[in-house]
Chain A
Amino acid sequence: MLFNSLDFLIFFTLVVVVYFAMPHRFRWLFLLAASYYFYMCWKVEYIVLILIATTIDYIAGHFVGPGKPFRKLILAVSLGTNLGILFCFKYLNFVSGELRALFDQFNVFAGFPVYHLILPVGISFYTFQSMSYTIDVFRGQKEPEKHFGIYAVYVAFFPQLVAGPIERSTSLMPQFRIPKQFDYDRFCSGLQLMLWGFFKKLVIADRLAMYVDTVYSNPGAFKSAPLILATYFFAFQIFCDFSAYSDIAIGAARILGFDLMKNFNQPYFARSIREFWQRWHISLTTWFRDYLYIPLGGNRVVKWRWQTNIMIVFVLSGIWHGANWTFLIWGVLHGGYLLVSLWTRGLRDRVVHVTRLDRVPYLHKMLQRVFIFHIVLIAWVFFRARNLFEAIVVFKGMVSGVPSIFHINVALGKYELLIAFIALACLEFVHFLQHRYGVSNVLNRMPVALRWGCYYATILAILMFGQFNLTEFIYFQF
């Protein structure tokens, strides 16, 4: 079931009504049933994978706490099962295919199998969430959960089941035990977020997707301007698509009385790569930080180990997104950017001083933002291209010929392009407000008429200019 579908609106309305109408002691059961139904709407059989991960991690949780015998072994079994499922469904065919190609190079025709498996939606999200629980218990940061139902809802909580935010057991699990009353203010604030999420997904992301998909499905057919514009569009498409999902998830959970972690914080306003990763997909970044980077030693090791740790985290972060060399390169690029930024810190400071940019902080910040946005943009080409060859074709195409605005309407008509640009301007305006004052503050301080005007305008913009052809969220595939 997609968030951007009528089915979800009906489903969610019913869930809210029934949830608040029923006594607290049954709510976990209702949420669990609703969450499993939500997932099974996509593919019934794959609920088994969630059940396996849930059961194994629930049992493991009771035996991995500090002082328990064989706890390391049990943790390894738990993590191995989760990662094994992930590997089978997400990476097995890729590894098999690459090995086959490698052996073919040496005329060794080994019969590596090909499995026709459909990637289970959200598998990377719920396995990471489930794994974080066992690790937290192992570290003694969380008591093992006694109630299987509560643990099962934690793993499968429908707002964030298929595309995050990846929650922590210490933060989300206790919330299922707290009795909740319907709160009008939370309801309004949740709806605000959901509405903004729908706007970003339906008006911006899905419109830009039409352009990006056309260009990137056959990059060799385009030169210069369309390729450049498609890459810029993709940067906004993926941001709007993914952050829209997060907004809708956080909004929906808020209406039900739950607080989910913030997943995006205007990443394209970042002034350094480090800051970008503190603002982009925050729940994944912090997951890798807490469960990979720090256990590897973080920055409390010798320099070369520290830099290797950084690279390992980014490479794995890239591979987490999918079984393709393009994702790996994307991760390597980001890791590389961060390392280069560390190596060149002194040099950059000197350049800023010599050019006196430090005396014009506004310009300095703006240049930093523009620079970071563009190096991120370069990495997005690899992320979006179907393979490395096509990524290179995109880069070559971008620099061949002089870009002309007269050649940009390749997939969207002028009117559609105009809507896209206006919607992007709205997005940036809202980001500016958020950056300066906080959108909620601005809205709450407005007179009712003006505030409602904003709501109506957003609803009508979604209805009038939204793309209602039910496209999935990009991050579903991860």
Chain B
Amino acid sequence: MKPRQQVIAFAGIGVLLFSVLYFLAEHFAPPYPLHKTRLKMLVERGDTIEALSIGSSHSQALRFEFLGVDGIHTWQAGNDIFEMRYQAESVLPKMPGLKTVFWCVSPRTFHLDNLALSTEDRSELRRRYYATMPGWKFIPGDGRDLFRAMLTPIVRIDHWAEVVMDFLMRREPTQYVQPGGLIANVPEKRGKEQEAESDAQEEDQSKSRYATEEHKAYLEKHADHRVSKLNEQIADMLLNRPDLEDKAFEAAEDIIEMFQKRGVRVIAYTPPYYEKYTELFDPALIEDMDRKMALLQKKYGFEYYDMSRDEEFIHRPELFINSDHVSGEGAGEVSKKLKRLIDAEAPTPKGD
């Protein structure tokens, strides 16, 4: 064979081999199964889903069953606003029936860019997005993660352990996605009755677990650790990306415009945080969030409910699993309150 023929043949066989492995991996143990399942659910029910929740893991504070709407969550832990915009862009065309979007805003929302963090590699988050929501679009400056995401079934973080194990042992998945799109852990597949009974038990246990002095001490400690880490991360990100705040604000504007253009009602909210968390958080960042949300509200006229300092929640340790995430019980109460606020059409007086 001539050199040119050799190159073509080598590349051709390589592509074939690669495709076979790709198929095997996708068949036996596709990467990010939970997130893919969530997206699949969204696509299947795209015509009927009325509400969408976007934001970071703080969005767990929202429970659609308490709001009385058929909705789905798309958040992933550690989301920055650029990822939220990417999510929104990706899922919006798949949801013709969408009426309302719930956008979870945190004091860190306008100061976070996972790509700009030099102390820790968060590119896996980005790859997860691209792998879960396939396409050619990517967050500016993030082409390499899009490319790596395309290779995800082959270049796997588990180094093929899952594929081998699932193939050899026919293992059952140990996690599932709840109807609302929330991800939960379950030990094994269970019958409905067992599930209900066990859920009730778990809720009782969690209530008693969270209503202790020990848990209160944990929340204080967690707030201290969490806020100092966040402050370090934010400082690092701002140093690495000086235009971060401006770009984040632009991304927020894009998100709102995108939904409003489609006639989707935008409801922004900030969930409650345990009192110590807000107390330790840089007041300048909180003020900045207040100012920016007021600006956005003024410009786009959407609803915004800020419960971050709501006395009804912030002093009650039993409502929090940690200092910045509400518990199941907390999510119920927050969602009920949000529903009351929406129904009353009484947004908090911001941006006036």
Which A residues contact B (CB, under 8 angstroms)? 5-7, 184, 415-416, 419, 448, 452, 455-456, 459-460, 463-466, 468-470
Instruction: Find out whether the CB atom of B148 lies under 8 angstroms from the CB atom of A468.
Output: yes
Instruction: Find out whether the CB atom of A469 lies under 8 angstroms from the CB atom of B148.
Output: no
Q: Of B10, B121, B151, B161, which contacts A463 at CB under 8 A?
A: B151
Note all chain B residues with C-beta closer than 8 A to A470.
121
Question: Which of B13-21, B263-271, B319-327 lies on the face that meets chain A?
Answer: B13-21
Q: List the B residue with the shortest CB-CB distance to A467.
A: B159
- In the bound complex, CA of A7 to CA of B160 (Å): 25
> Given A6-B148, A184-B3, A470-B121, does the pair A463, B154 have CB atoms closer than 8 Å?
yes
Instruction: Find out whether the CB atom of A456 lies under 8 angstroms from the CB atom of B13.
Output: yes
> Nearest-CB distance from A254 to chain B (Å)?
16
Q: List the A residue with the shortest CB-CB distance to B151.
A: A463
Q: Of B144, B147, B151, B159, which contacts A465 at CB under 8 A?
A: B159
Give me the 7 closest cross-chain CB pairs, A-B, nearest first: A184-B3, A415-B161, A6-B144, A465-B159, A463-B154, A463-B155, A464-B160
> Nearest-CB distance from A207 to chain B (Å)?
9
Q: List the B residue with the shortest CB-CB distance to A419.
A: B159
> Given A6-B147, A6-B148, A7-B144, does the pair A460, B159 have CB atoms closer than 8 Å?
no
Note all chain A residues with C-beta closer than 8 A to B155.
463-464, 466, 468
> Nearest-CB distance from B57 to chain A (Å)?
23
Instruction: Find out whether the CB atom of A460 lies under 8 angstroms from the CB atom of B13.
Output: no
> Nearest-CB distance from A426 to chain B (Å)?
15
Instruction: Find out whether the CB atom of A452 lies under 8 angstroms from the CB atom of B13.
Output: yes
> Nearest-CB distance from A407 to chain B (Å)?
22
> Nearest-CB distance from A395 to chain B (Å)?
32
Note all chain B residues with C-beta closer than 8 A to A5.
144
Q: Mark B143-160, 1 if CB is under 8 A from A, else 0.
A: 010011001001110011
Other A-B pairs, 9, CB within 8 Å; known A6-B148, A419-B159: A6-B144, A452-B10, A456-B13, A459-B14, A464-B156, A464-B160, A465-B159, A465-B160, A466-B155
> Nearest-CB distance from A289 to chain B (Å)?
40
**Which chain B residues (1-19) contact chain A, with CB distance < 8 Å?**
1, 3, 10, 13-14, 17
- In the bound complex, CA of A195 to CA of B160 (Å): 21
- In the bound complex, CA of A23 to CA of B3 (Å): 23
> Nearest-CB distance from B160 to chain A (Å)?
5
> Nearest-CB distance from B26 to chain A (Å)?
14
Instruction: Find out whether the CB atom of A464 lies under 8 angstroms from the CB atom of B147.
Output: no
Which B residues contact A (CB, under 8 angstroms)? 1, 3, 10, 13-14, 17, 21, 121, 144, 147-148, 151, 154-156, 159-161
> Nearest-CB distance from B54 to chain A (Å)?
28
Q: List the A residue with the shortest CB-CB distance to B25.
A: A464
Q: List the A residue with the shortest CB-CB distance to B124.
A: A469
- In the bound complex, CA of A269 to CA of B148 (Å): 38
Q: List the B residue with the shortest CB-CB distance to A468.
A: B155
- In the bound complex, CA of A106 to CA of B233 (Å): 41
- In the bound complex, CA of A416 to CA of B3 (Å): 38
Note all chain A residues with C-beta closer than 8 A to B14.
456, 459
- In the bound complex, CA of A419 to CA of B164 (Å): 13
Q: List the B residue with the shortest CB-CB distance to A416.
A: B159
Note all chain B residues with C-beta closer than 8 A to A463.
151, 154-155
- In the bound complex, CA of A391 to CA of B14 (Å): 47
- In the bound complex, CA of A470 to CA of B147 (Å): 15
Note all chain B residues with C-beta closer than 8 A to A416.
159
Q: List the B residue with the shortest CB-CB distance to A462.
A: B155
What are 9 A-B interface contacts by the 8 Å CB criterion?
A6-B147, A415-B159, A448-B1, A456-B17, A463-B151, A464-B156, A466-B155, A468-B148, A468-B155
- In the bound complex, CA of A465 to CA of B157 (Å): 9
Instruction: Find out whether the CB atom of B148 lies under 8 angstroms from the CB atom of A464.
Output: no
Instruction: Find out whether the CB atom of B159 lies under 8 angstroms from the CB atom of A464.
Output: yes
Q: List the B residue with the shortest CB-CB distance to A187.
A: B3
Note all chain A residues with C-beta closer than 8 A to B160.
464-465
Q: List the A residue with the shortest CB-CB distance to B145.
A: A6
> Nearest-CB distance from A175 to chain B (Å)?
23
Note all chain A residues with C-beta closer than 8 A to B147.
6
> Nearest-CB distance from B168 to chain A (Å)?
12
Q: List the A residue with the shortest CB-CB distance to B9.
A: A452
Instruction: Find out whether the CB atom of A464 lies under 8 angstroms from the CB atom of B154.
Output: yes
- In the bound complex, CA of A5 to CA of B17 (Å): 23
Note all chain B residues with C-beta closer than 8 A to A7.
144
- In the bound complex, CA of A463 to CA of B13 (Å): 16
Note all chain B residues with C-beta closer than 8 A to A456.
13-14, 17
- In the bound complex, CA of A463 to CA of B147 (Å): 13
Note all chain A residues with C-beta closer than 8 A to B17.
456, 460
- In the bound complex, CA of A463 to CA of B21 (Å): 11
Note all chain A residues with C-beta closer than 8 A to B13.
452, 456
- In the bound complex, CA of A99 to CA of B154 (Å): 53
Note all chain A residues with C-beta closer than 8 A to B148.
6, 468
- In the bound complex, CA of A8 to CA of B14 (Å): 21
The CB with the most chain A CB atoms within 10 A, among B17, B154, B156, B159, is that of B159
- In the bound complex, CA of A416 to CA of B160 (Å): 11
- In the bound complex, CA of A415 to CA of B3 (Å): 40
- In the bound complex, CA of A456 to CA of B17 (Å): 9
> Nearest-CB distance from B207 to chain A (Å)?
35
> Nearest-CB distance from A3 to chain B (Å)?
15
- In the bound complex, CA of A66 to CA of B206 (Å): 86
> Nearest-CB distance from A453 to chain B (Å)?
10
- In the bound complex, CA of A355 to CA of B114 (Å): 65
- In the bound complex, CA of A252 to CA of B38 (Å): 44
Note all chain A residues with C-beta closer than 8 A to B1.
448
> Nearest-CB distance from A187 to chain B (Å)?
8
The CB with the most chain B CB atoms within 10 A, among A416, A468, A470, is that of A468
- In the bound complex, CA of A5 to CA of B144 (Å): 9
Q: List the A residue with the shortest CB-CB distance to B21.
A: A460
Q: List the B residue with the shortest CB-CB distance to A457.
A: B17
Note all chain A residues with C-beta closer than 8 A to B156.
464
- In the bound complex, CA of A466 to CA of B148 (Å): 13
Q: List the B residue with the shortest CB-CB distance to A7.
A: B144
- In the bound complex, CA of A416 to CA of B161 (Å): 9
Note all chain A residues with C-beta closer than 8 A to B10.
452, 455
Note all chain B residues with C-beta closer than 8 A to A6.
144, 147-148
- In the bound complex, CA of A419 to CA of B147 (Å): 25
- In the bound complex, CA of A271 to CA of B144 (Å): 45
Q: List the B residue with the shortest CB-CB distance to A465.
A: B159
Note all chain B residues with C-beta closer than 8 A to A419.
159
Q: List the B residue with the shortest CB-CB distance to A469.
A: B121
